[in-house]
Every structure is written in C-alpha cells, then in structure tokens.
Amino acid sequence: MGILLIAPIASAGGPSLWLYPKDAGPREGGHVVPPGTPFTLVIENRSKDSESNTAHEVKLVVAVENLDAVGPLSLVLDDDGTPFPLELSAWDEGTPLLPCSEKPMPRHGVFPTTYATVVVGDLIGGASFEIEVAVEGDDNLRVHFDALALGLKTTGQGLKCSGVSNPSGHDVTIANRPGGHDDCARVSISKTADPRVVDLGEPVTFVIEILNEGTCDLTELILNDLIPTVEDESGESYPAFVWIGGTEPTPSEIDEDGYWLKWRLASPLPVGESEVVQLVVEFNHPAADGKRVVNRACITAAGLTKPRCTSAGVMVGNPYGEDGPAGPGFWCHAARWVIEDRPKVPVDGVELLAWLEEVDTESEVFSEYYPILVEDDPEASLRAAADLLCTPQSAEGAADRLARHLLTLWLNVVSGRLDSMLTLGALCGGGEILPDDTDLDTTVGELLAEVDAGLAAGAADAQLTFWSEVVDAVNNSRVPGELGCNAPRSVSGRQGAGHGNPGGKSTVSEVKK
C-alpha cells in the first residue's frame, strides 16, 4: 500500500486577504486612524476569481488592548447598498486561531490581547467587503483590525483545508495619537520550544524572535524571560529549569514573580528586521516532573506603551508512564549520559550501540548522508548520534531538521518502544498534532520507509517540512493501552520498553569490551 502524505498547499494558491482603509490602500506598517473618525474598512481577496481561491467564512478580528477605554463601537457592512450591523462575538483572550490547523495567527504583533471576531461571509477572488467603522473612547484607546478566512482546494484526497490571514504589518489600528500621526514603534515577539515534551534532566531550546513591525527603528530593546517556579511537597518554590546555553544573558534578577533572565539587545533594530535569542535550559528539579511548565518572555523598547509578551509550554515527564515512543531529547541524553559515565542512564549502553548499528544497516540516510556509526569506536558513534539529536538549533535546512526527527523514529522502532505495524491513526495524541493531510491508515513502518527514501532522494523542502511535522507528532505520541487512549495517568512505575536496566548502567568503557 502506498503512502499518501500530502504536503501543504504552496503559498501561490488559494485566497489572499488584504486589509486597509478605503481611501488609503494597503501599506507596509499598517494604518492608524484617530478615534471618533468614521472610515471605510476594506477586506479584499486579491486572488484571481476561481473556486479554489474563494475565501470562505471571512472573519473580521477586532482586538482591544483595554476594554475599559472603548466607548461606542459601530461596524456596518454595506452589502448591495443595504447596510446592516455586524454583531461582535464574545470577547476572548490570547491570539486568534487560524481555521483548520487551529494554529495561532502568525506574527501579528498586537497579540496576545483581548479580541472578538465578526463573521462577514464568503469572498470570491477579486472581490471585497466594505465595512463602515466608527469607534470612540478615552486616551488609552487602541483597537486593532485583522482578517481571517478558510481556504478550500480540491486534491486527489478530497478537499484540502487551510487557514488564511492578512499579511503581518498590513492592518488598521484606531488609536489616540498627537496630531493623528502613526505610532511608529511596533514590535511582535514569538517563542517556540523544542522539544515540547521532555524527561526530567533533558535540555529544551527556546527560540525567541523579536520582529520590528513598525515604521521606525527600535531602540532600548530589553528582553526579559521569566523562569517559572515549581513547588515541592512542602510548598517551597524552586526554579523549574536552569540556563545551560544559548545567547548569553545579563545576570539574572529576582522579582516578586520569580526569576528573570535579561538581555539588552543591540539597537537600533531596523524596520522589518528581527533579532533571535536562543535560550537552552535543563529541567532539573524533581518538582517539575509530571508537570506542564509555561515559560513567558516579554520585550520592551522605547516608544512602546507596554511590554509585548509571549509564552511556550513544555511537558516535563510523561504523565502516562514511559511505554511508547520518546522524543529527540530522550535519545540525546541516552547517548550523552552513557558517554559521560553517569550513575543512572535512561538506556543500556550496549543496547543503544546495537540499535545504532541496526539503524545504520536499515537506513540509507544514516549510512550514507548522516553517518552515525564509526567503525571500532563506540564513543565516536554515540557522539555522532548525540550531535544530531541534541542540536536542533544547528539545523541548516529542512533536510537537517527532518534527519533529527527521523533518527528518533528509527530508534523508537528498533528499540521496541514503537511497533512498526501500528497505523498512525491508532496512536494516541501527545505533545504534537499530526497534520490534517496525514494518511492515518499508513503504518509506522511504511512512514519510516517512505521518509527515509524521500530524504535520501532529495525531496523538495515543502515535502521534507511536512514529513518533519508528521514524524515529530509520531515521536511525541503514545501507544494505546488496554483502555485505549484513556489509560489512567501515572508518573510512577516507569519501567517501559527500551529503558534498559533500572538498577545499573552500561558505560562507554563497557561498550568497548
């Protein structure tokens, strides 16, 4: 049976939403309109008129930084000359989610904040909606507009669903500004964690990106990262992780909420450019085990009215027990800790080397393109595997990123943690979600063979990225137990398959014998 894993639609197809005041047109950096001044807001679908380019279920997103500052707010859609009011849905907190994938709307700097959505309707390519807008409020008023829609495209497997939003930085804001001029200082901040599920003692790399979305250079940039705390059985609070690498911060500070790491970033940050900070941490306190820990970062700069913040969560430990696949962090430490001769290692060193030899035999990728086996040198072999598994920040492209996830999947299969005959649809969801276009009837073994062959053959980046998402989701999944995916949670009795001898160890010196 063939594998039908469809890569995401290329950006050239589907609807293309744009948002701007009628009398101004789209503009990089967006538009600022004084409150109390009625204007016509345009939502335009700039794609060519075709069925696949129709923007379905278009929504106007209305974001408000301070609800108490908002007075009367009027939204009227002019449809065929007959105006009718649009009703705001219930207010929510956070970042609007794209249809289909339910991922946060990308790089729109005002979020997370308070927002509501207004359903406008379907919009064919080349057409537009015109909405009469009037908002009043006090000196702290700031109301921000974006647009979302659903894209549908026919493929060999049926309808392909995708989420669409107006481009970041092309938006409209109502705000009090002296003389009615634009507020040029605008910044967005995003944060990702890799991996999102780890065992205690494993490293996590947080990548924080700060983007200048305004119309002037940013200065006095200060990034603060709050180290979350965890409580032990006595109620004492401790930092959930320690900093072990990445972008060097200034000395940490302590405030009433916990521990902060601080970076004074180089300035000015030019318009449209970004600054990336990497924070490599290790969750090392026992009180963090079995908990989802959320890490928050905030950026301040001259001219910003308030900090912009973002968060990323990591699940520490496996609340379902240790049977089933493990992520790259687990295998990273399995290799490193055997090399370092630690008193307690997650797997037996002799078994780990045997598994690497099996991967080298079965995989074209890891025998030819990403060698992990050094003849007659067990330590060098373990280091080669660790170098690939432990350094996601060093990936130079889609192929490098996929190789890390693929080696993890190979190790999960050859170690017996994951049955190659299981179908993807039979796996229980974990820290990552399978993409919508995944063929759930595909077995783990078929996925492994297809991805290994495709990576070795030089598949296109779009396909490699799609496979990375699929393989990462499988590595973060759980195998169904006797009660299916509703097995009771437990953080004890961790003696699952592939965990070696819990009472002893096999070090590099023993492997060499």
Q: Which residues touch 487 (CB under 8 Å, ≥6 apart)?
A: 320, 321, 480, 481
Query: At residue 147, does pLDDT exceed 90?
Result: yes
**What does the alpha-carbon distance between residue 206 and residue 314 come to, in Å, rounded to a whole number?**
10
pLDDT at 447: 94
Q: If you average pLDDT over every residue of the chain, what do you get?
A: 78
pLDDT at 484: 62
**What does the alpha-carbon distance between residue 49 and residue 172 come to, in Å, rounded to a whole number?**
25
pLDDT at 157: 58
State the sign of the Cα–Cα–Cα–Cα dihedral 405, 408, 412, 414. Answer: positive
Q: 120-134, 152-166, 487-501 — which one is most confidently predicted on average?
A: 120-134
Q: Does residue 106 have a cis peptide bond before it, meaning omega lies within 30 degrees of 0?
A: no
pLDDT at 6: 31
Q: Does residue 480 have a cis peptide bond before it, meaning omega lies within 30 degrees of 0?
A: no
pLDDT at 251: 66
The percentage of the chain sitting over the pLDDT mark of 70, rounded to a whole number, equals: 81
Average pLDDT over residues 332-358: 81
The tokens for 284 are 């090392």
The tokens for 84 are 């009718």
Q: Do residues 327 and 374 make contact, with C-beta atoms less than 8 angstroms apart? A: no
Secondary structure string (H, E, C) spanning 289-315: CCEEEEEEEEEECCCCCCCEEEEEEEE
The tokens for 203 are 């490293």
Best CA proximity match to 325, nearest among 154, 191, 480: 480
Query: At residue 448, does pLDDT exceed 90?
Result: yes
Average pLDDT over residues 384-395: 81
Q: Do residues 152 and 124 make contact, with C-beta atoms less than 8 angstroms apart? A: no
**What does the alpha-carbon distance between residue 169 and residue 28 come to, in Å, rounded to a whole number?**
6
pLDDT at 9: 31
Query: At residue 494, does pLDDT exceed 80?
Result: no
**What does the alpha-carbon distance between residue 341 and residue 319 come to, in Å, rounded to a whole number?**
28
- Return the minimum-mean-pLDDT range out of 57-61, 264-268, 381-385, 491-495: 491-495
- Return the minimum-mean-pLDDT range out of 174-183, 333-342, 344-353: 174-183
Average pLDDT over residues 84-99: 82
Best CA proximity match to 178, nearest among 137, 139, 217: 139
398-418 residue pLDDT tens: 898 899 999 999 999 988 888
Give the number of other Cβ atoms within 10 Å of residue 21's Cβ: 18
Average pLDDT over residues 231-236: 74
More confident residue, 502 or 261: 261
Query: At residue 122, does pLDDT exceed 60?
Result: yes
- Return the minimum-mean-pLDDT range out of 97-101, 107-111, 222-226, 239-243: 107-111
pLDDT at 50: 79
2-48 residue pLDDT tens: 333 333 333 335 788 999 999 888 876 678 887 778 889 999 998 88
pLDDT at 490: 34
Average pLDDT over residues 106-119: 78
Query: At residue 133, does pLDDT exceed 80?
Result: yes
| Coil vs helix vs strand at 189 | strand
Q: Could you give the count of Cα atoms lying within 13 Å of 385 in the half-sphere of its Cβ?
A: 36
pLDDT at 182: 46
Q: Could you give the count of Cα atoms lying within 13 Å of 239 in the half-sphere of its Cβ?
A: 18
pLDDT at 31: 81
293-341 residue pLDDT tens: 888 888 988 878 778 888 888 878 754 445 578 888 778 878 888 888 7
**What does the alpha-carbon distance between residue 239 and residue 477 come to, in Å, rounded to a whole number?**
28
Structure confidence at residue 104 as a pLDDT band (50, 70, 90): confident
**What does the alpha-carbon distance between residue 194 and residue 449 come to, in Å, rounded to a whole number?**
25
* Domains of the chain, earliest start first: 17-180 (2.60.40), 187-316 (2.60.40.1530), 328-475 (no CATH)
Give the number of other Cβ atoms within 10 Å of residue 240's Cβ: 23
Average pLDDT over residues 153-168: 75
Structure confidence at residue 378 as a pLDDT band (50, 70, 90): confident
Secondary structure string (H, E, C) spanning 356-412: HHHHHHHCHHHHHHCCCCCCCCHHHHHHHHHHHHCCHHHCCCHHHHHHHHHHHHHHH
**What does the alpha-carbon distance between residue 507 and residue 378 come to, in Å, rounded to a whole number?**
10
pLDDT at 487: 47
Average pLDDT over residues 234-254: 77
**What does the alpha-carbon distance between residue 213 and residue 301 come to, in Å, rounded to a whole number?**
13
